[in-house]
Amino acid sequence: MKNKNTVLILGITSMLILISVQVFIIIGIWKQKNETFALKYTILSKDALAYINRRMPDVGFDTVRFLLTKYSEKANKELHSVKDQKESDEKKKDILNYFTKVLNQEQYLSRLLSTYFEKWGFEKKFNSTIVIQNLEMIANDTIVIYRSEDFANRLGPDRSKKPAPNENYRSKILVNWFRWEDNNYRLVFDYLIDFSDKQKVILKETSATLGLSTFSILLVGIMFMVTFRNLKEEQRLSNLKTDFINNMTHELKTPLSTITVAGKTLEMPQIRNDDSKILETAKLIGKQSVHLNQLINMILEISMWERTQFQLDKKTVDIGEFLNDVVESFKSGGGNHASIIQKYDFKGTKVDLDVVYFTTLVNNLLSNAVKYSDKEPVIEIDGFAQDNNICIMFADNGIGINKVDQKHIFDKFYRASTGNIHKFKGLGLGLYYVKKIAEAHGGDVSVSSKPGKGSTFTVTLQNIS
Ligand code: ADP
């Protein structure tokens, strides 16, 4: 048990470590791909801008500049003539709105970039954003219309340095920043792009790594499950064997100690003088020896089956008559206090079977029906022949078997609510024997049962003579 738990804990821990490492690696790859993606498009857009600028400076923004120059001339004058602070604030707001609107709507740079990207076989679908950093109206004095915090923080007055990375741009690529100045205004703005399909593209690029790592985790998981199941099964079998050895020792000890006591009794002078007592003790020794012999034979036979196939000595019998005989001898033996109701009528159906083995099969089922009963045992035997099959049902009013045990009762050494402390004596071999015999005859055995309500064992046979 301890060993199993250690394996379980070790297995789960290593699985968790493996999954964490894999997740860590994947996040790393994802981040790296993200950065590479951004870097690739930054370089590409710089190339594109240089290319566009070399041909026509201001291209992409020529309409914008024209509109802004025209607008700012008028707006500047109006702003400078306003005296009231509130009105001035309103005016500034209008100017900022106009600049933002025109910059975002009238620029053609995005289209030019898109064409450039497409030409070089890159992703051409992206969204562009223009973020105004600083806008001033200039006449004799300078009126600041808008100044972003970021702009105020940017290094140096000449703005020749690259802007400091802005947190809000995290998923966006800063293509360039622009600084325009004419007689009426001074403007600094950033031009950003972001790819809506970016995650898809990265996912496509990382899919092989992702797939492989998921597969490897799955594989390790399956291997772990299989190993753990094998270990559990091994432990179950080893427990069953231990139970079996304990039960067997107990079963063998009972007749042996009876024989020993009987032997000691025979040594007593008062017994030796009484013929009837001698006879009684001798009979007891004989009975216990037979029982001991049966037990040993059963164990020997089972171990023989492990190595060799069943050797059946089949004879053609009338199945109804055969069952009648077995039931009769059972009634005169261990089942004398059981009521056995024989409902079957096979109408003289003949079957090929090994009489010795099949008698054992029926006896095991009948004796279990008596053994696992907490009241007066009532056993109903029913059956029918159909096509080439016959079916025999043994229904009892015993203690019943729960669903979990039903799955295992035909296993070797299995005893329901196992353990060597068992209310009912046994070795867990009876039903294993029944199953083996039924299968050797080309048939099978199954059980249906409800705890407290009794059990029905159904034996099917295929080869009717
Ligand atoms: P054993 O009787 O020696 O334990 P068996 O292989 O005959 O071994 O039976 C396996 C288990 O199935 C038993 O331990 C018992 O719990 C259960 N069982 C078998 N027959 C019946 C029955 N007729 N009613 C209730 N339980 C049964």
Q: What is the 3-state secondary structure (H, E, C) of the chain?
A: CHHHHHHHHHHHHHHHHHHHHHHHHHHHHHHHHHHHHHHHHHHHHHHHHHHHHHHCCCCCCHHHHHHHHHHHHHHHHHHHHCCCHHHHHHHHHHHHHHHHHHHHHHCCHHHHHHHHHHHCCCCCCCEEEEEEEEEEEECCCEEEEEECHHHHHCCCCCCCCCCCCCHHHCCCEEEEEEEEECCCEEEEEEEEEECCCHHHHHHHHHHHHHHHHHHHHHHHHHHHHHHHHHHHHHHHHHHHHHHHHHHHHHHHHHHHHHHHHHHHHHHCHHHHCCHHHHHHHHHHHHHHHHHHHHHHHHHHHHHHHHHCCCCCCEEEEEHHHHHHHHHHHHHHCCCCCCEEEECCCCCCCEEEEEHHHHHHHHHHHHHHHHHCCCCCCEEEEEEEEECCEEEEEEEECCCCCCHHHHHHCCCCCCCCCCCCCCCCCCCCCHHHHHHHHHHHCCCEEEEEEECCCEEEEEEEECCEC
Burial class (CB within 10 angstroms; exposed 0-12, middle 13-18, buried 19+) of 122: middle
72-76, 86-90, 203-207, 354-358: the lowest-pLDDT one: 203-207
Rounded-to-integer distance, Cα 216 and Cα 25, Å: 13
The Cα–Cα gap between 405 and 372 comes to: 14
Confidence of residue 202 (pLDDT cuts 50, 70, 90): confident
431 lines ligand 1 (CB under 6 A): yes
Best substitution site from 368, 374, 421, 457 to test ligand 1's pocket, by max atoms within 8 Å of Cβ?
Answer: 368
Cα(365)–Cα(431) distance, integer angstroms: 8
Nearest CA owner, ligand 1 atom 23? 369
What is the whole-number distance in angstroms between the Cα of residue 464 and the centre of ligand 1?
29
**CB-ligand 1 contact for 363 (6 Å cutoff):** no
Q: Which of 401, 420, 456 to mutate to test the pocket of ligand 1 (most atoms within 8 A of CB)?
A: 401
Mean of per-residue pLDDT scores for the chain: 85
pLDDT for position 300: 81
Highest mean pLDDT among 376-380, 410-414, 429-433: 376-380
Residue 409 Cβ < 6 Å to ligand 1:
yes
Mean pLDDT, range 437-460, rounded to an integer: 94
Segment among 37-51, 90-104, 181-195, 220-234 with least mean pLDDT: 37-51
Distance CA 457, CA 381 (A): 10
Alpha-carbon distance of 367 to 380, in angstroms, equals 13
What are 278-322's pLDDT values in tens digits?
999 899 999 999 989 988 887 787 777 766 767 788 999 999 999
Q: Is 396 in the pocket of ligand 1 (CB under 6 A)?
A: yes
Q: Is the dihedral of CA 307, 309, 313, 319 positive or negative?
A: positive
Closest of 99, 94, 92, 185 to residue 137, by C-alpha: 185
**Cβ-based neighbour number of residue 434 at 10 Å:** 22
Confidence of residue 10 (pLDDT cuts 50, 70, 90): confident
Ligand 1 atom showing the smallest separation from residue 394 Cα: 23
Cβ 383 vs Cβ 392: under 8 Å: yes
More confident residue, 148 or 340: 340
Q: Whose CA is nearest to atom 20 of ligand 1?
A: 368
pTM: 0.56
Q: In the predicted model, is pLDDT for residue 419 greater than 50?
A: no
pLDDT at site 420:
45
Cα 368 to ligand 1 centre (Å): 6
Predicted pLDDT at 341: 95
Regarding the beta carbon of 128 and ligand 1, being less than 6 Å apart is answered: no
Q: How far is the CA of 328 from the centre of ligand 1 (A)?
A: 22
* Residue carrying structure tokens 């009484």: 274
Half-sphere exposure at residue 272, Cβ-oriented, CA atoms within 13 angstroms? 6
By alpha-carbon position, which residue is closest to atom 12 of ligand 1? 409
Averaged pLDDT for residues 222-233: 89
**Cβ–Cβ < 8 Å for 265, 279:** no
108-167 pLDDT, tens digit per residue, is 888 888 888 888 888 888 888 888 999 999 887 888 899 888 777 764 555 555 555 555
Query: Does any ligand 1 atom lie closer than 6 A to the CB of residue 433?
Result: no
User: For residue 34, how far is its CA from the centre of ligand 1 (angstroms)?
Assistant: 66
80: burial class by Cβ within 10 Å (0-12, 13-18, 19+)? middle
Could you tell me the distance, in angstroms and rounded to a whole number, from the CA of residue 354 to the centre of ligand 1?
23
Could you tell me the CA-to-CA distances from 386 to 207, 349, 358, 436, 463 in Å, in that order? 59, 10, 20, 23, 11
Residue 409, classified by CB atoms within 10 Å of its CB into exposed (0-12), middle (13-18) or buried (19+), is: buried
Longest Cα separation, the chain:
149
State residue 127's pLDDT score: 85
**346 and 318 Cβ atoms separated by less than 8 Å:** yes
CB atoms within 10 A of CB 115: 12
Query: Is the CB–ligand 1 distance for residue 398 below 6 Å?
Result: yes
| pLDDT of residue 247 exceeding 90 | no
Q: What pLDDT shows up at residue 421?
A: 46
Query: Would the CB of 427 count as within 6 Å of ligand 1?
Result: yes
Residues 70-97 have a mean pLDDT of 89
CA of 363 to the centre of ligand 1 (A): 13
Tallying the residues shown for the chain, one arrives at 465
Cβ of residue 399 lying under 6 Å from some atom of ligand 1: yes
Q: Which residue has the tokens 């707006």?
A: 75
Question: pLDDT tier at 444 (50, 70, 90 boundaries)?
Answer: very high
The pLDDT of residue 321 is 95
pLDDT of residue 59: 63
451 pLDDT band, cuts 50/70/90, is very high
Rounded distance, CA 224 to CA 335, Å? 50
Please give the Cα distance from 162 to 278 (Å, whole number). Answer: 118
Cα 419 to averaged position of ligand 1 atoms, centre (Å): 13
The pLDDT of residue 397 is above 90: yes
Distance 246 CA to ligand 1 centre (A): 17
* Amino acid, single-letter form, for residue 435: K
- Please choose, from the candidates 246, 344, 248, the residue with its C-alpha nearest in 3D space to the C-alpha of residue 298: 248
Q: Ligand 1: does its nearest atom lie under 6 Å from the Cβ of 377?
A: no
% of the chain with per-residue pLDDT over 90:
30
Find out whether the beta carbon of 369 lies less than 6 Å from any atom of ligand 1.
yes
